[in-house]
Amino acid sequence: MPNPNSTTDDQFLQAAIEQARLGVEEGGIPIGSVLVHRGQIIGRGHNRRVQSASAILHGEMDALENAGRQSAAVYRESTLYTTLSPCPMCSGAILLYGIRRVVVGENQTFMGEEALLRSRGVEVEVVDDPQCQHLMKTFIEQHPALWNEDIGR
């Protein structure tokens, strides 16, 4: 049975991919994210650890920051789209704010805390998008030290 959200999900995942590409253009890590509430993007972000010399500006964290202060109801009604499986920090923020649905572009290059999210009632859908996989594989091949720094290895 086809997913009734697939066309909309594709549109918002593409917006997250655009954010990931922007990150690469800025000299950073190609991970992008958007926070969507009632069919509207309310926050866009990309990994800006390199650009901002930040320890915490992963794509998901940047999208949440750029969404600004929201009510708990808005977070509960929102979907977070991210090009890569969320790390422990970003998964913690998803749980903290009660985001109930996460669409992941890919988890082949990095498996985040999807099991934790699911165990806490978050709907996690992994798309296995070839664009997301290509962005990450290329980046990791070209910048292994930076990638390892970002994921704490």
- Extract the tokens encoding 141: 């091949």
Asked whether the beta carbons of 151 and 110 are under 8 A apart, the reply is yes
Tell me, yes or no, if 60 is annotated catalytic. Answer: yes
Beta bridge partners of 80: 35, 102
Question: What whole-number distance in Å separates Cα of residue 33 and Cα of residue 35?
Answer: 7
What would you report as the CA-atom Rg of the chain, rounded to the nearest whole angstrom? 14
Question: What whole-number distance in Å separates Cα of residue 151 and Cα of residue 92?
Answer: 15
* Catalytic-role residue among 18, 26, 60, 123: 60
Active site residues: 60
